[in-house]
Amino acid sequence: MTDFSDLGLSHPLLAALTAAGYAKPTPIQYQAIPPVLGGRDLCGIAQTGTGKTAAFALPILQRLATAPRRTAPQACRALVLSPTRELASQIADNFRAYGAGLPLSTAVVFGGVSIGRQRQQLARGVDVLVATPGRLLDLVDSGSLTLSSVEILVLDEADRMLDLGFIHALKRIVKLLPQQRQTLLFSATMPRPIEVLAQDYLDDPIKLLVAPAATTAERIDQGVVFVPSDQKRCLLAMMLRDPAFARVLVFTRTKHGADRVVRHLAATGIEAAAIHGNKSQPQRERALAGFRDGQFRVLVATDIAARGIDVDAVSHVINFELPNVPEDYVHRIGRTARAGAAGIAIALCSDEERPYLRDIEKLTRCPLRPMPASPVTTPLQHRDSAVDQIAASRPRQGEQSSRPSQDSIPAALVQPARQTEKAVALPKDTATGSSLPAFLVRAPSELRASAGSRNVRRGRMPSQRALGAH
């Protein structure tokens, strides 16, 4: 078994890891750190929440510290690009924490906040700069930053950075970098066409595939509830009234959709905040900080919060609407079950969204377990059969899930809204004391032992054991 000290990391970094409470390197860390220390280019694919940030931050800090150089004014030595402001900020925090014992400086720049302070921060130059591409180019264009002395480039969430939304900015940025540099790409997903494109940015890279691309983290227990669109909000509110939904991230497809969900929850007495691109940066930061520190337990988000965001102990991710890009599903549910914890992901799937569900299951090779909806969506005349179906759907020990079929979907769940009658009180689950199905409410810690056996991937199982097991 490898220890951090076997990887050639210096004492200040090892001390920072001890302070962070990391006992052992994760698979992506012990495989990536030595070649990155050796100066190699690298493309690393590993599941969400398995320590990719440290896998690049630690060796970068060590390389910069062992070849100390006075930073040139308005320049940086390592450049890390991230698709969202929140992720950029989080990566910079990680660099600062891991590099606490080293004489290296870190800055972060992104849009939505004053550029003046960022110019000041860059004036004397920094060792590590974490940036979103748009603001980085603004700083370059206004003469506040030069990229000609970058030694190391990292594309975090690399497939996102290389896709249509960012590729033009990225091409411009790469032209401004020295040809002679080290380039590192990291992601949990890597669609084949993007992987081909990525080769243009890498020189004789090491390719690490800790788990097949788009493999969902093993400790996420995944289910799907088939429910008409117009009943989703009621179902969500009912789920969230259960205290077992301790820290919940709800994803919608649109910004307005996120606001609508927050309003509906507020009307039912559930406090939630929204985070999406129409919010000001201070509002975004307040929403994420409030969710992180437990001020409110529900955050409703668009995909800007899908990638990389690391919040401790997210118990449930609810896909209120399924993403139309299947890779986004992998990233969304990856907000739970991080750093060796377990978590629950529930997709609310309407009839119109079934093609998206098929794409997701094809990508992840992991059929979602169909779950019954709640009493709220259960018409009276279906009560008994719904109760039976709930009982039948509870996992038995050693049971494996099967691919959802039309037959396996309780009839009660596909009734149009007008047939819905008043709420029906279902008998409480003896194990959980809740009227929701056990699967939906079981605390992640209870799932630890059993998760992984529930959602059985078709084809290859990932070889990686969960983080912390090493």
Q: Does 310 bind ligand AMP (CB under 6 A)?
A: yes
Please identify which residue in 7, 36, 45, 54 interacts with ligand AMP, judged by CB under 6 A: 54
Task: Give the integer Cα–Cα distance in Å for 329 and 347.
Answer: 9
Does 210 participate in binding ligand AMP (rule CB under 6 A)?
no
Q: Give yes or no for residue 52 binding ligand AMP (CB under 6 A).
A: yes
Rounded Cα gap, residues 21 and 113, in angstroms = 33
Q: Compute the C-alpha angle 169/171/173, nearest 5°.
A: 70
Among 7, 36, 53, 80, binds ligand AMP (CB under 6 A): 53
Q: By CB under 6 A, how many residues form the interface with ligand AMP?
A: 15
Would you say 54 or 88 has its CB closer to ligand AMP?
54
Going along 294-430, which residue ranges are E strands? 298-301, 316-319, 343-349, 369-371
| Whole-number CA gyration radius for the chain | 23
Q: Does 332 engage in binding with ligand AMP (CB under 6 A)?
A: no
Q: Rule CB under 6 A: which of 429-468 touch ligand AMP?
A: 467-468
Nearer to ligand AMP by Cβ, of 94 and 377: the residue is 94
Query: CA–CA separation, 198 vs 366, rounded Å?
Result: 26
Smallest distance from the beta carbon of 292 to ligand AMP, in angstroms?
12
Q: Considering all CA atoms of the chain, what is the largest pairwise distance in Å, rounded to the nearest integer? A: 76
- 334 belongs to the binding site for ligand AMP (CB under 6 A): no
Q: How far is the CB of 169 from ligand AMP (least distance, A)?
A: 23
CB atoms within 10 A of CB 260: 16
Token pair 């032209």 is found at: 175
Q: Is 79 helix (H, G, I), strand (E, B) or coil?
A: strand
Beta-strand relationship, 42-45 and 106-109: unpaired
Asked whether 71 and 105 are in contact (CB, 8 A), the reply is yes
User: Does residue 27 belong to the site contacting ligand AMP (CB under 6 A)?
Assistant: no
Task: Determine phi and psi for 339, rounding to 5 degrees.
Answer: 50, 45
The answer to the question of residue 339 lying near ligand AMP (CB under 6 A) is yes
Stretches 7-15, 24-32, 141-149, 189-197: which one binds ligand AMP (CB under 6 A)?
A: 24-32
Among 16, 22, 62, 297, binds ligand AMP (CB under 6 A): 22
Task: By CB under 6 A, tell whether 228 contacts ligand AMP.
Answer: no
214 vs 326: CA distance, rounded Å: 9
Residue range at the interface with ligand AMP (CB under 6 A); choices 19-27, 30-38, 258-266, 381-389: 19-27
Which residues are at the interface with ligand AMP (CB under 6 A)?
22, 25-26, 29, 49-54, 310, 338-339, 467-468
